[in-house]
């Protein structure tokens, strides 16, 4: 997969300008001082929505007039002690009711209401509502090449205090005649956890990046996500190409990293990150030397190479050749060492070479 090699440089520059000068729990993303979308204190949900949520809450499975599923959550930094979970869900175009735009643009579009509610368990284990809200989404896609049965992905994010949550997401038609609900559990680490451990976010493969104005309200996006002033499209299926020079642009955040000098006004991290390709059976395929980072954002273009070794009958390595990865399934293993605290963190990402 060939992504622009300016992605890493652009992200790194914006982080230096907009984030590095702030504390670790800075406003999400390289941005101005505008607030990020936050969940509102629980408001009164329409009775139809609350009933659908409660019916499936215990089993985490409910009504699906328009089938969709939540398949990923990324946890990024936010203001204060908050964190910024980004929720990803997927659905078939036909199930979400896309139709030709009335504007005559040739686009396909649909309008949906999205209701969300966050629950936490009390001392008895009962689920108590903590936060909730609603947004209306006008979703569009190019009419050329539109496939009704194709499954596409969507995202939204908001700032939340640390804690363990169960989130219910309800999608409905504007008239609420069709309702669907899906659930996911979130574990957002607080300062007590981050004081003693590194928590790397799930790595993603970035395909495009651009700077935008930070959003002031929760918005559902098709085919990309936003974080502060960053609009990011990603390769969600982890399938990458094999042409000469192909690489994948990997991005993750490291929560819990210490500062080299918190009194200077520009705290810098001192991270050492090691990337390694593994085959499906866990055997090393290619290693990179440890790389230093001075930010809690780690972004790195990784060429799709492997090491081929020639050995004699005694197992002695005679030579090592670097060549493109063969088609197949692999795992990217990432190890992060915080040289300030001595804490380590590890995270893995499966990917497929086509």
Whether residue 215 sits in one domain with residue 290: yes
Q: How far is CA 209 from CA 9, 11, 191, in A?
A: 11, 8, 30
Q: What are 106-155's pLDDT values in tens digits? A: 999 999 999 999 999 999 989 999 999 999 999 999 999 899 999 999 99
- Examine residue 61 and state whether it is found in any structural domain, yes or no: yes
How large a percentage of the chain has pLDDT more than 90? 64
Over residues 99-103, mean pLDDT: 92
Are residue 242 and residue 159 in the same domain, yes or no? no
Query: Do 178 and 105 belong together in one domain?
Result: yes
Instruction: Give yes or no: residues 129 and 262 share one domain.
Output: no
Whole-prediction pTM value? Answer: 0.86
Whether 167 and 258 share a structural domain? no
**Same-domain status, 259 and 349:** yes
- Do 212 and 281 have their domain in common? yes
Give the count of domains, the chain. Answer: 2
Domain boundary among 138, 159, 189: 189
Rounded Cα distance between 203 and 240, Å, is 15
3-state helix, strand, coil in the chain (%, to 5): 10, 50, 40
**What's the pLDDT score for residue 7?**
60
Residues 158 and 238 occupy one common structural domain: no
Would the pLDDT of 10 be above 70? no
Residue 236 has pLDDT above 80, yes or no: yes
Q: Alpha-carbon distance 306 to 103, whole Å?
A: 51
Mean pLDDT of 318-328: 79
- Clarify whether residues 55 and 129 are in a common domain: yes
Does residue 308 sit within a domain?
yes
Report if residue 139 sits inside a domain.
yes
**Listed residues 189, 216, 246: the one ending a domain:** 189
Q: Is residue 176 part of a domain?
A: yes
Strand, helix or coil for residue 53: helix
Q: Between 166 and 304, whose confidence is greater? A: 166
Structure confidence at residue 137 (pLDDT):
94
pLDDT tens digits, 35-90:
555 555 555 789 999 999 999 999 999 999 999 999 999 999 998 889 999 999 99
Lowest-confidence pick of 20-34, 201-215, 269-283: 20-34
pLDDT at 18: 38
Report the CATH number at residue 62. Answer: 2.60.40.10
Domain residues for the domain of 290 are 207-353
Q: Domain check: are 117 and 243 in the same one?
A: no
Query: If DSSP codes are grouped into helix, strand and coil, which group holds residue 149?
Result: coil
CA distance 156 to 86: 6
CB count within 10 Å of CB 50 equals: 17
What is the pLDDT, as a whole number, of residue 134? Answer: 94
Residues 291 and 170 in one domain: no
Give every CB contact of residue 117 below 8 A, 6+ residues apart in sequence. Answer: 42, 45, 53, 129, 131, 132, 167, 168
What is the phi/psi pair of residue 15, to 5°? -65, -40
Listed in sequence order, the residues at least 6 apart from 173 whose beta carbon sits closer than 8 Å to its beta carbon are: 66, 97, 112, 113
In a domain, 340, yes or no: yes
Say if residue 117 is in the same domain as residue 224: no
Residue 265: pLDDT band (50, 70, 90) is: low
Whether 1 maps to a domain, the answer reads no
- The yes-or-no verdict on residue 354 having pLDDT over 90 is no
Task: Give the range among 20-29, 219-228, 281-290, 337-346 with minimum mean pLDDT.
Answer: 20-29
167 pairs with which residues across the strands?
A: 118, 184
How much is the pLDDT for 306? 77
Residue 198 domain-assigned? no
Residue 345, in any domain of the structure: yes
Domain at 271, CATH number: 2.60.40
Q: Give the integer Cα–Cα distance in Å for 149 and 92.
A: 6
């Amino acid at each position: 997969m060939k992504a622009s090699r300016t992605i890493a440089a652009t992200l790194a520059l914006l982080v230096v300008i907009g984030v590095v000068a702030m504390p670790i729990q800075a406003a999400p993303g390289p941005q101005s001082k505008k607030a990020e979308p936050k969940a509102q204190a629980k408001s009164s949900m329409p009775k139809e929505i609350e009933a659908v949520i409660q019916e499936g809450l215990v089993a985490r499975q409910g009504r699906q007039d328009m089938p969709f599923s939540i398949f990923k959550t990324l946890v990024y930094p936010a203001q204060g002690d908050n964190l910024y979970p980004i929720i990803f869900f997927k659905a078939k175009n036909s199930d979400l009711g896309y139709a030709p735009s009335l504007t005559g643009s040739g686009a396909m579009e649909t309008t949906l209401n999205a209701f969300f509610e966050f629950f936490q368990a009390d001392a008895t284990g009962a689920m108590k509502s903590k936060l909730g809200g609603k947004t209306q989404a006008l979703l569009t896609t190019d009419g050329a090449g539109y496939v009704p049965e194709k499954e596409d992905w969507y995202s939204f994010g908001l700032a939340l205090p640390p804690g363990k949550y169960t989130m219910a997401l309800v999608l409905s038609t504007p008239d609420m005649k069709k309702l669907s609900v899906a659930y996911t559990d979130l574990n957002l680490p607080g300062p007590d956890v981050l004081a003693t451990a590194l928590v790397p976010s799930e790595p993603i493969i970035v395909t495009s990046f651009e700077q935008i104005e930070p959003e002031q309200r929760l918005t559902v996006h098709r085919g990309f996500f936003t974080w502060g002033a960053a609009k990011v499209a990603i390769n969600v299926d982890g399938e990458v190409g094999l042409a000469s020079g192909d690489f994948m642009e990997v991005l993750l955040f490291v929560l819990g990293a210490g500062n080299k000098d918190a009194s200077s006004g520009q705290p810098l991290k001192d991270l050492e990150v090691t990337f390694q390709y593994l085959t499906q059976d866990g055997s090393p395929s290619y290693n990179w030397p440890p790389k230093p980072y001075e930010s809690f954002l780690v972004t790195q273009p990784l060429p799709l190479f492997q090491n081929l070794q020639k050995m004699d009958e005694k197992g002695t390595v005679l030579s090592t050749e670097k060549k493109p990865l063969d088609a197949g399934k692999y795992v990217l293993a990432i190890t992060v060492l915080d040289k300030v605290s001595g804490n380590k963190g590890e995270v893995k990402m499966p990917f497929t070479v086509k």
